[in-house]
Amino acid sequence: MFISIERNRLESIQEQIFEQARRQILAGSLRPGVKVSSTRALAAQLKVSRNSVTFAYERLINEGYLVTKPTAGTFVAPLFPEDAVRATGVAEIYSPDRSARSGSPDEPPAFTGRRHSILSTSRNPIDFWTQRTDPAAFPLRSWRRVILESLASAGRNLTEYGDPCGYMFLRTTIAEHVLDNRGIQARPEQIIILAGAQLALNLALRVLVRGREPIAVENPCNQGAAYLFESLGMTVLPYPIDSFGVDAESLVKSDARLVYVTPSHQFPMGPTLSLHRRKLILEWAQRTGAYILEDDYDSEFRYDDAPLPALKALAPNRVIYLGTFSKSLGAGLRIGFAIFPESLVESAGTAKALLDNGHVWLEQAALARFISGGGFARHVRRIRQSWKSRRDTLLERLSLRFGRLELMGTEAGTHIAIKVPERWNAHDIKQIARKSNVGVYTVQCGGGHEYGAMTFNAEWLLLGYASLSERQIEIGVDRLAHAMELRQGNGPAFRGY
């Protein structure tokens, strides 16, 4: 990698490193798989601070140009965001070419993929990370009790295999829970318990996908889903989102027979899919025989009005519903579920058995007790109230410090998206905030993935609020505003400090 730094340029040193490396990667002079210099070595070579190189590398990693391999170093990624090809004007197609395999014994493994972000990259105490909730809100006492009760009545459950599709007590409990809360009617046999929605998505794709199957997705999209589709060699058709969710009017003209959506709180931008668009997508699926992968994460947290019905409730035979307890209980528990249409139950059950012989029994038994005893509903009511107060504090403080800001995703979930003030770039704000010990995230760094022009990535920031106290939220916003004021001088975008 050849980088030349000009100190009198307007761009910062880290921007120059980022841009030059990106260009060399796209031009092919830095080839996929090539190991790049360590941050220390490059900083020494360029006589710049190590931080500048580290920030540039982090951005290259977050935007998909570089990948890190633990203990081995940093390498040029096998696939880049710009591999997206402009298609119909509405959507763009992404489909990696896998036909070039030589079959030689030295060729790399058949699997190629990129890691999605689920871990925060910031060690700051005030970290608006999108993918965590407050550990103090975990119902520890109740959880201890249901674990102990389950252990006391475990019988043979700890010493022999159970049904790979899940513990029947939990499947029955979840069937009642989704009926009461999401209007979904499902037999327990349609429900498969797994270690989270990401695994549920993997299972559904295992059942449904052949070859380069086209899939319609939201743009920007959940990174874990986007990179999974990419790793399977699927053809991705991204459709833009706005404040009513994905552009369903265009999506229904798609040739895809599979769509992945996050209707309750679009990830990463946060809008709720409108009822009108829900109906359009459902009619399209009924008409064409398409399947909808409904990732209903965050559905428990709707603050200002009643939740809209799940797509699965409206068209049970066309929707594979993906549920998770990562937001309502904790991401570290690793438990979620999928609800399959009757027509797919048999194949999904077989695919699940081949996948893993079953999910941890103790955790399933404890969760079933917690839900059926009413503890889960009480817990969700409590944290919904608590997240709502934190959201209100965040919105008030942002308004106090920044005046009017364009926001998305405020009505539900555990994070919001804010449009950065004019003349600012989201990535720069992220770096400035980091120097003031505050973690805020671009779309690409915060667990989203944007296809094509990356405008959301440049113009929006994601702020998760469910892991911070209200006081921390206020301090975090104040510090952010202050740091931006210092950088800009007292520009019009900010109000005093």
Ligand X SMILES: Cc1ncc(COP(=O)(O)O)c(C=O)c1O
Q: Which residues bind ligand X (CB under 6 A)?
A: 131, 196-198, 222, 262, 267, 295, 297, 324, 326-327, 331, 336, 447
Closest CB to ligand X among 65 and 129? 129
- 247 vs 294, beta carbon nearer ligand X: 294
Least Å distance, CB 96 to ligand X, is 22
Q: Is the dihedral of CA 10, 15, 20, 24 positive or negative?
A: negative
- Rounded to an integer, what distance in angstroms lies between the CA atom of residue 209 and that of residue 75? 30
Using DSSP's 3-state secondary structure scheme, residue 425 falls into coil
Torsion (CA) 385, 388, 394, 397 in degrees, nearest 10: -80
Q: Provide the minimum distance between the beta carbon of 285 and ligand X in the complex, in angstroms, as a whole number.
A: 20
Report the residue number whose CB is nearest to ligand X. Answer: 196
- Which DSSP state fits 440? -
Q: What is the smallest separation between the CB atom of 421 and ligand X, expressed in angstroms?
A: 26
Rounded-to-integer distance, Cα 388 and Cα 121, Å: 26
Exposed / middle / buried, residue 8 (Cβ in 10 Å: 0-12, 13-18, 19+): exposed
| Beta carbon of residue 364, minimum distance to ligand X (angstroms, whole number) | 15
In three-state secondary structure terms, 248 is helix
User: Is the CB of 302 or the CB of 327 nearer to ligand X?
Assistant: 327
Q: How far is the CB of 300 from ligand X (least distance, A)?
A: 12
Least distance to ligand X from the beta carbon of 456, Å? 15
Minimum distance, C-beta of residue 409 to ligand X, in the bound complex (Å): 12
Shortest approach of ligand X to residue 198 CB, angstroms?
4
- Residue 60 vs 203, nearer CB to ligand X: 203
> Which two structure tokens, joined as six digits, stand for 65?
């140009």
**Complex with ligand X: residue 303 or 494, whichever CB lies closer:** 303
Judged by beta carbon, residue 14 or residue 266, the one nearer ligand X is 266
Q: Which residues contact 381 (CB under 8 A, 6 or more apart)?
A: none
| 3-state SS assignment for residue 245 | strand
Rank residues 291 and 297 by Cβ distance to ligand X and give the closer one. Answer: 297
**CA 57/CA 231 separation, integer angstroms:** 23
Range 368-371 contact pairs with CB under 8 angstroms and sequence separation of 24 or more? 368/167, 368/169, 368/170, 368/172, 368/173, 369/146, 369/149, 369/150, 370/139, 370/142, 370/143, 370/146, 371/170, 371/173, 371/174, 371/177
* Cβ proximity to ligand X, 295 vs 300, nearer residue: 295
